[in-house]
Amino acid sequence: MSPETERSLFGEILDWMLAPLLFVWPLSIAFTHYFANNVANFPYDQSLREHVATISRQVQLVEGKPVISLHASTRAMLRADELDSVYFHVLTQDQKLLVGDMDLPAPTFTGMAGIVPGEIYFRDMEYKGQDIRVAYSYLADSQMPVEQWVLVEVAETTEKRTQLANRIVASVILPQFIIIPLAVMLVWFGLSRGLRPLTRLRNTIEDRDPADLSPIATRRVPEELEPLVEAFNEMLERMKRNVEAQQRFVADAAHQMRTPLTGLKTQAQFAARETDPAALRHALRQIATGVDRAGRLVNQLLTLARTEGSEIGQQKHEPTDISQLVREVVEDWVIIALEKNIDLGYESAGKAMITGNPFLLRELAKNLIDNAIRYTPSGGHVTCRIIDVGSTIVLEVEDDGVGISEEQAELVFERFYRVDDATTEGSGLGLAIVQEIANQHGTRASLRPNPRGKGAVARIAFAAWFPPLPPPPPPEDYSELYRQSPPLGP
């Protein structure tokens, strides 16, 4: 597996579930051993406590001096253990042995702070190379100084305790060797069942026809997978729109380019047979005109395909001064309008900001002006204006040309529809491009008869853009004012 290849989701989840288990298991063994030792110590500490109490009852303090009479039965009881060795002694503070094992270590005199006579205490230590558990107590009257206290100690090796603790640990740990593999198998089975929807979704996608761009049904999809499926469906929808745009482009290009190319071929054949220089020049001019028409048609088809396919539309929209933008487009068309003896004007009250794609907005304005000039006769007028009505910026292109009927106004934005094919050159794509760009900006274009007389008015309303409000200033420090204000209440 290469470093760039992601591991399977199944293995990733399994690792994250089992790794903590393998980490916690040694901790559980350590805790089990700790608590097992505490459990094992308790009954044997009680036995040591009873031994100390038994010896203490047989020590009498007479006028501050200890007198002990240890019965033989008591000694036998202390030495009767079969597994552990038991040691005991009774000492004075000056290390005088009254009875028992002399070499059994005693607590230091400096360690007696907080010691209460009669209370039984425990400590762990090593004696003759073995670990021992020691129970000890001090005997004293209420008036006796510390130097006269009598120490009673009973010590025992820890073999029984260790064996009991080991049995407790084994009784807890051994079943885990069965439970943990069983838990791993159950986790494996549960993950296999839980990830089955992913397998089903993968099979659904793999079994789809390559040309099937319909959305995937979310009826049986788990809640966690719904965002993934919805995102995939959105991608399919974008692909579907792109494919449809490409198919329309191919169909439109095949339909519209056939006639210009056939005309060019005919003109070329005619020019090839012509011997008259004047007629030949006329044929060549016709060929040049046909090439111009075909080039314009190709450019419009490409613009429409790119717009519908969102190649440009997906670019980020930005605040744009549409007043300045349309003014620049009008300036580019002034020469063309003068050549046709058309008065091209521009009206604007000033800066008008909208959110849009500058390239597409230029295409929109260019096609509106081109359409108006194309359908306006010599001596006519075309006026572009920007109207600011507060929350809306309106772009209008008005002409006094051939005009349009209410019925035609609903059809002019269709592809290849032309109002007057006989007298006006064009492909019928300009207004279709305008409508598509308007849709990209969340609005619609309209073309209606000119209310001032003959001609038509194209109108598009954009939402105005306003700069974001500045953040509120930080709150002032009123602490000084609060200190000067009188307290509230009585």
- Model confidence pLDDT, tens digit, residues 119-152: 999 988 888 888 889 999 988 887 788 888 888 9
Q: From CA 89, how far away is CA 84, in angstroms rounded? A: 17
Token pair in block for residue 451: 């209310």
The model's pLDDT over 87-128, given as tens digits with 9 standing for 90+, comes to: 888 888 878 888 888 888 887 755 567 788 889 999 888 888
Residues 295 and 322 in one domain: no
In a domain, 413, yes or no: yes
Determine the pLDDT at residue 326: 93
pLDDT at 391 over 60: yes
Residue ending a domain, choose from 308, 342, 375: 308
Top pLDDT among 11 and 120 is at 120
Residues 291 and 251 in one domain: yes
Residue ending a domain, choose from 148, 165, 182: 165
Residues 26 and 111 in one domain: yes
Average pLDDT, the chain: 79
**Count of domains observed in the chain:** 3
Give residue 261's domain range. 229-308
In a domain, 374, yes or no: yes
Top pLDDT among 451 and 78 is at 451
Q: From CA 293, how far away is CA 298, in angstroms rounded? A: 9
Q: From CA 14, how far away is CA 55, in angstroms rounded? A: 61
Top pLDDT among 230 and 246 is at 230
Residues 323 and 300 in one domain: no
* Least confident segment among 59-68, 223-232, 307-316, 390-399: 307-316
Determine the pLDDT at residue 311: 47
Determine the pLDDT at residue 2: 47
- The answer to whether residues 252 and 433 touch, using CB atoms and an 8 Å cutoff, is no
pLDDT at 347 over 90: yes
Residues 84 and 25 in one domain: yes
Question: What does the pLDDT average to over 53-66?
Answer: 82
Where residue 253 falls among pLDDT bands split at 50, 70, 90? low
Q: For the beta carbon of residue 294, count every other beta carbon within 10 angstroms.
A: 18
Determine the pLDDT at residue 383: 93
C-alpha triplet 113, 106, 159: angle, nearest 5°: 115
The model's pLDDT over 306-334, given as tens digits with 9 standing for 90+, comes to: 665 554 445 578 899 999 999 999 998 89
Residues 95 and 128 in one domain: yes
Residues 333 and 260 in one domain: no
Residues 57 and 154 in one domain: yes
Residues 161 and 21 in one domain: yes
- CATH code where residue 364 lies: 3.30.565.10
Residue ending a domain, choose from 165, 184, 208: 165
Determine the pLDDT at residue 411: 78
In a domain, 172, yes or no: no
In a domain, 477, yes or no: no
The model's pLDDT over 62-80, given as tens digits with 9 standing for 90+, comes to: 777 888 877 766 667 666 6
- CATH code where residue 288 lies: 1.10.287
Residues 252 and 297 in one domain: yes
Residues in CB range of 269: below 8 A, 6 or more apart: none
In a domain, 469, yes or no: no
Instruction: Using a cut of 0.85, tell me whether the model's pTM lies above it.
Output: no
Determine the pLDDT at residue 313: 44
Residues 33 and 146 in one domain: yes
Top pLDDT among 278 and 368 is at 368
The 3-class secondary structure across the chain, one letter per residue, is CCCCCCCCHHHHHHHHHHHHHHHHHHHHHHHHHHHHHHHHHHHHHHHHHHHHHHHHHCEEEECCEEEECCCHHHHHHHCCCCCCCEEEEEEECCCCEEEECCCCCCCCHHHHCCCCCCCEEEEEEEECCEEEEEEEEEECCCCCCHHHCEEEEEEEECHHHHHHHHHHHHHHHHHHHHHHHHHHHHHHHHHHHHCHHHHHHHHHHHCCCCCCCCCCCCCCCCHHHHHHHHHHHHHHHHHHHHHHHHHHHHHHHHHHHHHHHHHHHHHHHHHHHCCCHHHHHHHHHHHHHHHHHHHHHHHHHHHHHHHHCCCCCCCCCEEEEHHHHHHHHHHHHHHHHHHCCCEEEEEECCCCEEEECHHHHHHHHHHHHHHHHHCCCCCCEEEEEEEECCCEEEEEEEECCCCCCHHHHCCCCCCCCCCCCCCCCCCCCHHHHHHHHHHHCCCCEEEEECCCCCCEEEEEEEEECCCCCCCCCCCCCCHHHHHHCCCCCC
In a domain, 173, yes or no: no
Residues 237 and 333 in one domain: no
pLDDT at 394 over 90: yes
- 417 φ/ψ angles, rounded to the nearest 5 degrees: -85, 130
Determine the pLDDT at residue 345: 93
Top pLDDT among 304 and 287 is at 287
pLDDT at 343 over 90: yes
- CATH code where residue 94 lies: 3.30.450
In a domain, 436, yes or no: yes
In a domain, 384, yes or no: yes
What residues form DSSP beta bridges with 397? 384, 458
Q: What is the largest CA-CA distance in the chain?
A: 160
* Least confident segment among 68-77, 211-220, 293-302, 446-455: 293-302
The model's pLDDT over 348-366, given as tens digits with 9 standing for 90+, comes to: 988 999 999 888 898 889 8
pLDDT at 379 over 60: yes
Pick the closest to residue 369 from 381, 359, 358 (CA basis).
Answer: 381
Top pLDDT among 137 and 291 is at 137
Report the Cα–Cα distance between both ends of the chain, in Å, rounded: 79
